[in-house]
Amino acid sequence: MSALNELYQEIAVCQRCDLYKCRTNAVPGEGAEDAEIMFIGEAPGWHEDQQGRPFVGPAGQYLDQLLALIDFKREQVYIANVIKSRPPGNRDPLPAEIAACRPWLERQIEVIRPRMIVTLGRYSMAMFFPGKSISKIHGTAQKRDDIIYYAMYHPAAALHQQSLRQTIESDMLKIPSLLAEAKNIAEAEPPSQQLKMFEV
Interface residues toward ligand URA, by CB under 6 A:
41-45, 48, 54-55, 57, 59-60, 81, 156
Taking the complex as a whole, the smallest distance from the CB of residue 190 to ligand URA amounts, in Å, to 30
Taking the complex as a whole, the smallest distance from the CB of residue 156 to ligand URA amounts, in Å, to 6
Q: What's the rounded Cα separation, in Å, for the pair 179 and 71?
A: 14
Taking the complex as a whole, the smallest distance from the CB of residue 189 to ligand URA amounts, in Å, to 30
Q: What's the rounded Cα separation, in Å, for the pair 93 and 126?
A: 13
Number of H helices, E strands in the chain: 10, 6
Give whichever of 86 and 143 is closer to ligand URA, judged by the CB atom. 86
Taking the complex as a whole, the smallest distance from the CB of residue 58 to ligand URA amounts, in Å, to 8
Helices 163-173 and 58-69: angle between axes, nearest 10 degrees? 50
Give whichever of 29 and 114 is closer to ligand URA, judged by the CB atom. 29
Give whichever of 11 and 143 is closer to ligand URA, judged by the CB atom. 11
Give whichever of 42 and 97 is closer to ligand URA, judged by the CB atom. 42
Lay out the sheet containing 37-41: strands in order across: 30-31, 78-81, 37-41, 116-120, 147-152, 141-144
Q: Amino acid identity of 162?
A: Q
